[in-house]
Amino acid sequence: MNRRTLLQSLAALPLASASLLPGRRAGAAPPTNPPTPTGTPSEKELQSSWKSLLADGADVATTTEPLKLTPAEWKKRLSPEAYHVLREEGTERAGTSLLLEEHRAGVFVCAGCSLPLFTSAMKFDSGTGWPSFFTSIPDVLGTTRDLQLGVPRTEYHCIRCGGHHGHVFDDGPKPTGLRYCNNGVALRFIPKVGPGPASKSQPRTGKLPGKS
């Protein structure tokens, strides 16, 4: 073998080795993100069918007409923890909400005025320590620009009573890519069927490294 042939053979070795790596075919394109599973409901479908998860005769607000109360009236209506979050824009301690383990079918309503905000089909496990949703029931949330931490954030609140619920981020799962990071104490859950124990079924996952 002459010098030129030897050098050509050595140069080809890395390519030959790469073709033998597990899970890759020679000449195969780099892996890409998997497509959304067939049959997964779209955001529009989830929003338009939200009432299918509402229990018959559930005690919920049926209008977005503003509910205005005095601070004293709100304090009578809410627990101290809920008042701090809803009326003073406080934040509950991460990992403390019982709603993190709530996996039954149903609807999440505002703890201040009972306006339906989210459904169980919109909830996912973000791994942040706060109940999280990737979309909401249409036309029930308002937003403001929040600079309290020195960086711009999008605050959202109940459009009926103005109660603060949390912040929305753009690091959520498909189909929206959004994460509504909600204080659990600001919500009340109404199960679709009966008041039985929370389901042990696995929630939709999409764990994230961020926080509220």
Please count the CA atoms within 13 angstroms of the CA of 174 that sit on its side-chain side: 9
Residue type at 32 in one-letter notation: T
Kindly give the residue spans of alpha helices, DSSP state H, lying in 146-208: none
The C-alpha atoms of residue 174 and residue 134 are separated, in whole angstroms, by 8
Q: Which of 113, 158, 161, 181 is catalytic?
A: 181
Please state, as a whole number, how many other Cβ atoms lie within 10 Å of the Cβ of residue 122.
24
Report how far residue 102's alpha carbon sits from residue 53's, in angstroms, rounded to the nearest whole number. 14
3-state secondary structure of 164: strand
With helix as H, strand as E and coil as C, how does 24-52 read? CCCCCCCCCCCCCCCCCCCHHHHHHCHHH
CA distance 122 to 8: 58
For residue 107, give the 3-state DSSP assignment.
Answer: strand
Asked if 158 is an active-site residue, the reply is no
The phi, psi pair for 125, rounded to 5°, reads -90, 105
Please identify every residue annotated as catalytic. Answer: 181
